[in-house]
Amino acid sequence: MVHAESPRALHRFAVFLASCVIGLIAAGGLVKSLEAGLSVPDWPTSYGGLNPPRWWEIENVRAEHGHRLIAGTVALMTVALAIWAWRREPRRWVRRLAWGAGVAVLLQALLGGLTVLLFLPTAVSVSHAALAQLFLCMVVAFALVTSRGWRESIASPELAATGRDLQALASGTTVLVYAQILVGALVRHTGSGLAIPDFPLMFGRWWPPQFDFSITIHLIHRIGAVLVTVAVVTLLVRIARCSSRRGFVVPAVAMGLLLVAQVTLGATIIWSGRAVLPNTLHVPTGATLLAASLILTLRSWRAAAAAPASSRTVGEPAMVAA
């Protein structure tokens, strides 16, 4: 069975939307870094209207209201993506993925509004951060599976072997990065970013001398960073040894660079006493690392799922599990 192609423009639109979602996540990170989440007290209105007076001139209102405007735009774009996919995307599961992203972004808006109206309870704010990453993952996955490279993956024994080899490691890394982001969200929304005030030491030692909730989750986030580093380095070494395929090498190298940037930002947050810029950039950098890890993971699954080469002729497009 040969599938009709996803429109090229739909794929490009999805890539653009994914980059907008990263921008939206950065805007959300800025709101938290400025502690501006309650600077617009009402929702869905802003100071009783569509746009508060002089909102672009006032730092915190610009952050919070700007986040709402970007979010509204991304939500409309996602609904447009879903409608477009529904009409033109041949694979049913890909159409469902687009609808899933649409539902996720609407739920995400509700969580954002709810956390403002409830004065930022930790559970709601952390859920808002957690769903943001899942929404990003859906859009990234959609963009990936509508790409020409995905459709034209050539089944070969070498590729299938590499895919199987990478599958578990890449999947584990993606889950680990997501968990690390969740812990990071908990650190942010419980104000625990400086619970351990020094880096790389902790209270001048290699292990905190005392513990409370904030110190514990802060410590877990630091341990998480070590685990993610180990996972990413292992992944890089594995790919360097086993595959020169661009589809694996590019996201893996991106993950390495993003990891270095992310750890540097994390350290800078501590050293600067939570300066707004590193504290904000830490959020979209983590999201981009997750996206890169997801791309690598999905490609490894795709390669591994390719039917054994013996049953296919070289050059036949690999099939997608529907």
Give the footprint of other proteins on this chain (CB under 8 A). 35-42, 47-49, 52-54, 57-61, 119
Q: At its nearest, how many Å lie between other proteins and the CB of residue 23?
A: 22
- 191: alpha, beta or left, given left = phi > 0 and alpha = psi -120 to 50? left
- Of the pair 234, 272, the CB lying nearest other proteins is at 272
Question: Hey, what amino acid is at 259?
Answer: L
- Of the pair 61, 77, the CB lying nearest other proteins is at 61
- Of the pair 40, 295, the CB lying nearest other proteins is at 40
Question: Hey, what amino acid is at 316?
Answer: E
Q: At its nearest, how many Å lie between other proteins and the CB of residue 196?
A: 24
Q: At its nearest, how many Å lie between other proteins and the CB of residue 58?
A: 5
Quick one: tokens of 269?
Answer: 């947050």
User: What span, in angstroms and rounded, lies between the C-alpha atoms of 72 and 105?
Assistant: 9
* Nearest alpha-carbon partner for 139 in 308, 287, 307: 287
User: What span, in angstroms and rounded, lies between the C-alpha atoms of 156 and 146?
Assistant: 21
Q: At its nearest, how many Å lie between other proteins and the CB of residue 319?
A: 54
Quick one: tokens of 76?
Answer: 């409309």
Quick one: tokens of 14?
Answer: 């999805």
Which residue shows structure tokens 């989440």? 37
- Of the pair 59, 158, the CB lying nearest other proteins is at 59
Radius of gyration over every alpha carbon of the chain, rounded to an integer in angstroms: 21
SS3 content of the chain, % helix, strand, coil (to 5): 75, 0, 25
- Of the pair 59, 316, the CB lying nearest other proteins is at 59
Q: At its nearest, how many Å lie between other proteins and the CB of residue 44?
A: 13
User: What span, in angstroms and rounded, lies between the C-alpha atoms of 84 and 247?
Assistant: 27
> Measured on CA atoms in the order 171, 174, 180, 183, is the torsion positive or negative?
negative
- Of the pair 21, 31, the CB lying nearest other proteins is at 31
Q: At its nearest, how many Å lie between other proteins and the CB of residue 273?
A: 15
Q: At its nearest, how many Å lie between other proteins and the CB of residue 31?
A: 11
- Of the pair 35, 152, the CB lying nearest other proteins is at 35
Q: How many CA atoms lie within 13 A of 314 on its CB side?
A: 4
